[in-house]
Chains A and B, each alone.
Chain A
């Protein structure tokens, strides 16, 4: 004879609920608190962006003046151009690098674990460190250019860091180094979860490796690709510490990015209202990325339910 511990007849359901109360508290209280923080501070920032606040927040109403002055400023225009270039280059290249690394690692090679750790390792390094190290490596007087020249190729040039047209690419390089391991890890997990029967069926049908990847395996990675793109994009939009350590917006103001402009306006120039306006504009850019993603997820889920 067995006695069910939790559902003994006669015990009220309330007791069960009471026993599980700590679990509910542990989940819901922090969740609600962080949601409240997030929403409150977002609303607060939006409010500040319509006030004439400078050194400290003050009440008042200036309409869209903060927005128009941010939008008209040269720093913001440069930042937007850079974001477009950096965002697309970084996302596409890190995606491609991550995918290639994952496919190569997927060939059941020896030392896979070690290689995987090595590729993932940069993710464990803070962006400030990444930026600083790359600023040395890319510095023509100290890093790669000097190394190659010292080896004998005296006309070698790699001075992107100080070239105002190319400097933004140095940030792309460092960012890819940092995060393609992350894309690789996700892709690798996706590759490993592809149905073995599917692969066997394709092999029986006589598909070569390239054809198999193109027609059978890669299409199943589509959801992972979307996830990686969204995560990398929101990272690209909020990039701050990497640029600050690597170029600090320079040479001149050539590598400004929106997050740098926000910081600069709020804390360097003590223009809280304008800084908040720039921050809200950043939020809008982020929403422009996240809302289509949310919509796509919603459609996917509906399809899954319907199917």
Chain B
């Protein structure tokens, strides 16, 4: 543990904080306190944030975390209620364009000084930084990164298919799925039945076919791109995937079927890196599965970026303000990011963290390498299914079309493409 680095960073952070009168009052004899809400209560997510809280307490703070279990929306309802009651938490989980949207309804903390003191801006992917400083100032801090299109391969299913090569393009992926099917894997694609799950299949397909088209159509909602041939091709690929999935999963969460995936009844899973944390937490071993970047037709990794973050809400209480500064410093700390990511299976936000050491999995190293490559080749894009590319309203409208298409095999790809363009048009 590089404790010295942490201490030095903390000192630098406090020095910067002293420059601000608001923070100056907060320092001194006051015990930093942080009220935080997040959706992370159980499993690897719960373990990671608990560990973060311990670190906060070690630094002399009072950690008051209120988890709201369930989906992000449930957490947001609590946040909304607290903001409307004039009692926002000192910091809450929030991510993507929602940071910009929510920052308009209540005052947020200007984190520029703390971020500058930590030299954080240089080590964060530019697209990601943009999301966290919507008005030009840092008001939120990314905590960890996932790619939503990682490809998980079941070792036992690979054995059944007598295959050992990790597929890189969609064509290779489709070949392998066929081989698995022929080799006795009943469902070559592992899946859940939730909307996000269906959305992930589509975004992986489209971004894998053309990251440029993905950026134009999904991130920029460009009309021409939405009517372009890549969208139809993506729907064609999604239909193939849907045909290999187990239709019986109903509305189940993907994690319900992880055992079948490990056992080789399901072959490949397109899922975010968090599945690694969930798999490990469920007692499965790294020998059971392989993690690789999702299929990309130009063979260069495509990274569908999903980053969890904390937004900081303005509070007048000096102890809460001190707590916010301490929390911001902790979140940016490489040692803390390392600890956090090692528990959840994500990769650190800081691109300067070395993942070669112990405690990191091959999957995480591959993910980090994929991010680097994807940024270099401009193939790092923001995830739609996990609310990074669009605000909730638009995301939901698009995913309606996708999830209906996945579950209803009488809808033709051309029809789906038209419906997608219509849904975007009517939600603008």
Chain A contact residues, CB within 8 Å of chain B: 54-57, 69, 72-75, 135, 139-142, 159, 161-162, 164, 247-248, 250-254, 264, 267-271
- B76 at the binding interface (Cβ < 8 Å): yes
4 A-B pairs with the lowest CB-CB distances in the bound complex, closest first: A141-B248, A252-B407, A251-B407, A252-B404
A161 near B250: Cβ-Cβ < 8 Å: yes
Contacts of A73 in B (CB 8 A): 426
Point out residues on B near A: beta carbons under 8 Å.
73-74, 76-77, 80, 83-84, 101-102, 104-105, 193-194, 246-251, 391-393, 396-397, 400, 403-408, 426
| Inter-chain contact B392/A162, CB cutoff 8 Å | no
B250–A267 CB distance below 8 A: no
Across the interface, do A139 and B393 meet the contact criterion of CB distance under 8 Å?
no
Contact with A268, one of B83, B102, B396 (Cβ below 8 angstroms): B396
Residues of A within 8 A of B104 (CB): 55
Residues of A within 8 A of B426 (CB): 69, 72-73
Q: Which residue of B lies closest to A255 (CB)?
A: B251
Known: A251-B407, A254-B407. A268 touches B392 (CB 8 A): yes
* Chain A: CB-nearest residue to B251: A248
> Of A56, A72, A135, A271, which contacts B250 at CB under 8 A?
A135
How many angstroms between the C-alpha atoms of A228 and B102 in the bound complex? 45
Contacts of A162 in B (CB 8 A): 247-248, 250, 407
Residues on B with beta carbons closer than 8 Å to the beta carbon of A164: 407-408
B406 shortest CB reach to chain A, Å:
7
- Is A270 touching B76 in the complex (CB atoms < 8 A)? yes
Using Cβ atoms and an 8 Å threshold, which residues of chain B touch A268? 73, 392, 396
- Chain A min CB distance to B386 (Å): 14
What are 21 A-B pairs with beta-carbon distances under 8 A?
A55-B101, A56-B80, A72-B426, A73-B426, A75-B400, A135-B250, A139-B248, A139-B250, A141-B248, A142-B248, A159-B247, A162-B250, A247-B251, A250-B251, A250-B403, A250-B407, A251-B408, A252-B406, A254-B407, A269-B392, A270-B393
Q: Specify which chain B residues have a CB less than 8 angstroms from the CB of A250 in the assembled complex.
A: 193, 250-251, 403, 407
A254 and B408 within 8 A (CB): yes
Report the minimal beta-carbon distance from B87 to chain A, rounded to whole angstroms: 14
Give Cα distance in the complex from A250 to B249, angstroms: 11
In the assembled complex, which residues on chain A have CB atoms less than 8 Å from the CB atom of B403? 250, 252-253
Other than the known A56-B105, A69-B426, A250-B250, what 20 A-B pairs have Cβ atoms closer than 8 Å? Answer: A54-B101, A55-B101, A55-B102, A135-B251, A140-B247, A141-B248, A141-B249, A161-B250, A164-B408, A247-B251, A248-B251, A250-B251, A251-B408, A252-B405, A252-B406, A268-B396, A269-B392, A269-B393, A269-B396, A270-B76
